C-alpha cells in the first residue's frame, strides 16, 4: 500500500493533472576541464551517454537554462554556473511506489523507500523517482533530499520541505554528520571474517575509466571510514550492521567489497549475480535501517531528539536474502514471501 505524506488543503495537484518532471541541475566546476570551452563541450563531457546531437537539440529548443535565462550551446564556459535542464527518457522503466512516510512536520520529511526507487531523477528515470512521487502527492515543488541513498538501496531518506530552513537542516550531514546512521546488509563471505567487530578505512576516489564507479586507492590517506558488526553468519552469508563515519559516494558498497564481503545483489562492486525480489526488480540487500538525532536545534525552537527505523528488520532481511540466494536459478512465485507490511516485498 502506498503511504503518502499528509497534505494541506490546496497543496496537491488538481485531479487528473500530471505535473511536469522537476528539472535537473548541474554546477560547473570552478576550474574548466581540459578541452572544455563552451557549455555544449561541458555537458557532452559530463554526460557521455547522451549523444552530442541530443544536447544540440535541447539547447536549440530552450530546454537548457541558467539562473539568468536560456543558455546557448556556444555560450562560453563559466565557472560555478548552475545549469538546469529537463531530462527526457523514452520508455522509462516502471518503479515501485510503495514508500512509507515515517515522520513529517513543517520542515522535515522522513520516508522509508523500497529498493529500486531512485530518490532523484537519474539514468533511465525521470518521473519514476521519490521526489516526483512526493511532488505529485503534495504539490510541494520545494522538497529536496538532505543526503544520498542509492536507487537499489532501501530504507530511510531525510528530505527538506522548506527552503528557508534547508541550510540549517543540512547541518545534520555537513560538515560533520550529526545524524547517527545505521545500515544493515547481507554480504557474501568470500574470505575469513576478520572479527565480530572491525573498522574499514580506505581512500576512495572516482574511477578514471568508469566515472560512475568508485575505487579504492591503496597507499593514500583514508577518507572513508565505516564501523562493522557481524550480527550473524550462516550459509556463506553474513548479516552486518554498519555505521558509516564518513559519507563518500557508494562508500559501504566499495568498502565491503574490498574487505571480501560484497553486498548480495551488488553487480557493480563484486557480487557476480543480482538477486531479484518478487516484482523482478534488481535488489541490493542493503537497508538504511536507523537514523538517530540527539539534541539538534529544531527550526521552530527546542531540540530535535528522535530515532527513526525502516520497516525491514535485520532478521527478516537475512531470511529473505537467503531465500533469494537459494531460489535465484528457479522461477519465483509472485507474493510467495511477505514482509512486515504484508505487501510481498522487502
Instruction: Name the pairing type of β-strands 286-297 and 154-160.
Output: parallel
Domain assignment present for 57: yes
User: What is the total count of domains within the chain?
Assistant: 1
> Could you tell me the CATH number of the domain that includes residue 79?
3.10.290
Residue 165 included in any domain: no
**Category of 75 on φ-ψ map: left (φ > 0), alpha (ψ -120 to 50) or beta:** beta
3-state secondary structure of 112: strand
Structural domain contains residue 66? yes
Res 213: pLDDT: 87
Task: Look at residue 150 and tell me if it is in a domain.
Answer: no
Give, in degrees to the nearest 5, the angle at Cα 264 between 260 and 268.
80
Give residue 343's pLDDT: 36
- Is 73 domain-assigned? yes
In a domain, 42, yes or no: yes
Assess contact for 311 and 245: CB atoms under 8 A. Answer: no
Listed as own residue / partner, the contacts of 211-220 with beta carbons closer than 8 Å and 24 or more positions apart are 211/48, 213/250, 213/268, 213/269, 214/248, 214/249, 214/250, 214/251, 214/254, 215/254, 216/254, 216/255, 216/258
Give the domain extent around 81. Answer: 24-85
**What's the pLDDT at 169?**
95
pLDDT score for 328: 65
Q: What is the pTM of this model?
A: 0.76
Q: Is residue 338 part of a domain?
A: no
pLDDT digits (tens, 9 = 90+) for 83-123: 999 877 777 888 899 999 999 999 999 999 999 999 988 77
- In three-state form (DSSP H/G/I as H, E/B as E, the rest C), the secondary structure along 24-67 is EEEECCCCCCCCCCEHHHHHHHHCCCCCHHHHHHHHHCCCEEEC
User: Quick check: is 117 in a domain?
Assistant: no
pLDDT on residue 148: 86
How far is the C-alpha of 275 from the C-alpha of 264, rounded, in Å?
A: 7
DSSP code at position 68: T
pLDDT < 70 positions in the chain: 1-20, 271-282, 328-346
Amino acid at each position: 500500500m502506498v503511504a503518502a505524506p499528509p497534505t494541506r488543503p490546496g497543496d496537491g495537484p488538481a485531479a487528473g493533472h500530471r505535473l511536469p518532471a522537476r528539472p535537473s541541475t548541474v554546477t560547473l566546476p570552478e576550474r574548466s576541464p581540459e578541452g572544455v570551452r563552451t557549455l555544449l563541450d561541458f555537458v557532452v563531457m559530463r554526460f557521455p551517454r547522451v549523444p552530442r546531437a541530443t544536447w544540440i537539440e535541447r539547447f536549440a529548443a530552450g530546454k537548457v537554462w541558467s539562473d539568468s535565462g536560456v543558455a546557448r550551446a556556444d555560450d562560453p564556459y563559466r565557472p560555478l554556473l548552475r545549469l538546469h535542464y529537463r531530462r527526457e527518457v523514452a520508455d522509462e522503466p516502471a518503479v515501485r511506489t510503495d514508500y512509507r512516510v515515517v515522520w513529517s512536520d513543517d520542515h522535515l520529511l522522513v520516508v522509508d523507500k523500497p529498493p529500486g526507487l531512485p530518490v532523484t531523477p537519474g539514468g533511465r528515470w525521470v518521473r519514476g523517482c521519490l521526489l516526483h512521487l512526493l511532488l505529485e502527492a503534495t504539490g510541494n515543488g520545494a522538497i529536496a533530499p538532505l543526503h544520498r541513498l542509492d536507487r537499489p538501496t532501501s530504507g530511510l531518506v531525510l528530505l527538506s520541505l522548506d527552503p528557508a530552513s534547508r541550510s540549517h537542516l543540512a547541518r545534520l550531514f555537513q560538515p560533520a554528520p550529526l545524524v547517527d546512521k545505521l545500515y544493515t546488509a547481507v554480504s557474501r563471505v568470500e574470505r575469513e571474517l576478520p572479527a565480530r567487530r572491525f573498522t574499514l578505512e580506505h581512500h576512495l576516489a572516482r574511477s578514471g575509466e568508469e566515472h560512475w564507479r568508485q575505487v579504492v586507492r591503496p597507499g593514500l590517506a583514508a577518507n572513508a571510514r565505516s564501523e562493522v558488526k557481524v550480527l550473524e553468519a550462516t550459509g556463506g552469508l553474513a548479516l552486518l550492521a554498519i555505521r558509516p563515519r564518513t559519507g563518500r559516494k557508494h562508500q559501504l558498497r566499495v568498502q565491503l567489497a574490498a574487505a571480501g564481503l560484497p553486498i548480495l545483489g551488488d553487480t557493480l562492486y563484486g557480487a557476480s549475480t543480482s538477486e531479484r525480489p518478487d516484482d523482478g526488480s534488481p535488489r541490493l540487500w542493503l537497508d538504511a535501517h536507523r537514523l538517530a538525532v540527539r539534541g539538534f536545534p529544531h527550526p521552530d525552537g527546542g531540540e530535535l531528539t528522535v530515532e527513526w527505523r525502516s520497516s525491514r528488520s535485520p532478521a527478516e532481511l537475512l531470511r529473505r536474502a537467503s531465500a533469494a540466494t537459494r531460489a535465484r536459478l528457479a522461477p519465483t512465485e509472485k507474493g510467495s514471501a511477505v514482509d512486515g507490511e504484508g505487501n510481498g516485498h522487502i
